[in-house]
Structure 1
């Protein structure tokens, strides 16, 4: 029987489970939909996490003794989920503890063996963390769509919908986002009918938005990016950059020189953010070391190894990264 560690990178859009041995070799991979309990009902979030773990064990195809299961999870802690997850993991071979960690903690070890640094993320959610001695030492935002996540994909999508509503009512500027959002919702823009005192497209927009789960507004974020030359969209992206820069400034400590890891599907489109962060670093006398995040499941695997007392240096990080990449390629040869 092989001793393995189970690491799961749990986000709002997908959950990715990785099984590694104590040398960092990937034994199995599994994937399911989002398991963030802030974006999904707890029972569905737990089911997604369990499904990803089951897929990883199936992919491994050997008898395993799982020494630890570590969840690098976005969103709030929901204690009601833990018994369901733990029971399922015990059935899969978990003999050790179930450990929870923030998903932002996995960003730094996804690309660096350093145990001090920063992570700035802008995906469905947004925020910044300071890592000291391998542990989260400070957090700004990353509080979820209801309490923050300012500048995030959710925030961009939400404010795109607000801007379109204002434009259709005539109390806000015209914007290319109007046609983009209405088209995404299959709402015709040519109707001149009036319903309850509102233009038909606006009435249909309101109905469509309130039929969605709030977090689903994040699907409009790519429309903001695609229409970045539009004045309204450009200002939303600029405000997102300002929020993320402010998050970084709040967690920045002069005695930690980096690296700064940028993660999330939105952040690469905030093109002014790296230079703005670099200026903060230079002003403190540091040479900026800014990197795009790697595979979050690699970072989660590193956290699981460290939990077991394994020192992960640059060589082992390279082994983990290459092994996970090879396993993904083997499991999905058509990708």
Structure 2
């Protein structure tokens, strides 16, 4: 039986599981929908994470002694979800501890062996963190869509929906977002009126929005980015960038060096963000070192290995990255 570790990066949109041996070789991978317990019922969140782990274990050969499982997970902690995860992972071969840490904790080790630096992210959620000695020292925002996540995919999607409503009612400017969002929902625009006297398209739009889980508004974020030549969409993207820049200013310690990692499906499309962060760094006398990360799965593996008392230096990190990429291409 193979002895291995299980590392899972859990975001609002995707859960990616990786089975790795103690030398950093990727043995199996699995992906499923988002498992953030703040935006999914605990049973659905747990099921998505377990399904990703099952695929990874199956690809690793099925008979695996998992000495440690680590989840880098977005959202609030939930006791019921943890119970389900513990039960599911034990069935997969977990013989050691189940460890939970924040998904942002996995960003820096995904691209650098450094244990000090900064992470600025905008995916389904958003915020900024400062990492010192390998531990999260400070967090700005990342409080979830009910309390913050300003400039996130949810924020963009929510405000796109508000802009479409205002445009259809005639109390807001016309915007390319109307056609994009209604088309995404397969709602036709016509001159007809609904029974409540609203434009029929608006009535259908309101009904569609309230039939969605709130976090699903983040699915409109790519439409905002695609329409960024439109004045309304451009204003939304610019405001999202301002929120993230301010997050970084608040978390930045001018006395601490370290790379700045930008991550998340939205942040990577914010063209002004790297330059604005570089300006803050230069003003403090730092040479900007800004790196992009697609997801935190590599970092989750690094954290799992470090919890198993395995040193991960730059050479080991590059080995992990290559091993994961190599298995992904098979």
TM-score bracket for this pair, using the shorter chain length: over 0.9
Aligned length: 330
Which runs of structure 2 are paired with 1:185-224 in the superposition (5 Å)? 185-224=185-224
Structure 1 match to 2:325: 325
Q: Structure 1 stretches of 5 or more lacking a match? A: 331-335
Counterpart contact for 2:282–2:288, Cα < 8 Å? yes
Structure 2 match to 1:167: 167
Q: Structure 2 stretches of 5 or more lacking a match? A: none
Counterpart contact for 1:111–1:294, Cα < 8 Å? no
Question: What TM-score, normalized to structure 1?
Answer: 0.96
SS of the aligned residue for 2:168 comes to: helix
Structure 1 match to 2:9: 9
Question: In the TM superposition, what whole-angstrom CA distance separates every residue of 1:111-150 from its partner, at most 9, and x where no partner exists?
Answer: 1000000111111111111111111111011111111111
Structure 2 match to 1:60: 60
Distance in 1 between residues matched to 2:16 and 2:259, nearest whole Å: 25
Question: What TM-score, normalized to structure 2?
Answer: 0.98
- Residues 295 and 181 from structure 1, CA distance in 2 versus in 1: closer, same or farther, beyond 3 angstroms? closer
Structure 2 match to 1:242: 242
1:62: how far off? 5.2
- Residues 58 and 194 from structure 1, CA distance in 2 versus in 1: closer, same or farther, beyond 3 angstroms? closer
Counterpart contact for 1:195–1:203, Cα < 8 Å? no
Structure 2 match to 1:272: 272
Distance in 2 between residues matched to 1:39 and 1:136, nearest whole Å: 23
SS of the aligned residue for 2:321 comes to: helix
Structure 2 match to 1:145: 145
Counterpart contact for 2:157–2:224, Cα < 8 Å? yes
Distance in 2 between residues matched to 1:156 and 1:295, nearest whole Å: 20
Distance in 2 between residues matched to 1:191 and 1:120, nearest whole Å: 44
1:197: how far off? 2.4
Question: In the TM superposition, what whole-angstrom CA distance separates every residue of 1:62-97 from its partner, at most 9, and x where no partner exists?
Answer: 532211100000111111111211122112111111
Structure 1 match to 2:117: 117
1:194: how far off? 4.1
CA RMSD of aligned residues (A): 1.1
Question: In the TM superposition, what whole-angstrom CA distance separates every residue of 1:3-46 from its partner, at most 9, and x where no partner exists?
Answer: 21100011111211111111111111111111111121100100
Question: In the TM superposition, what whole-angstrom CA distance separates every residue of 1:96-120 from its partner, at most 9, and x where no partner exists?
Answer: 1100010111111111000000111
Structure 1 match to 2:312: 312
Distance in 1 between residues matched to 2:119 and 2:309, nearest whole Å: 23
Distance in 2 between residues matched to 1:55 and 1:203, nearest whole Å: 42
Structure 2 match to 1:254: 254
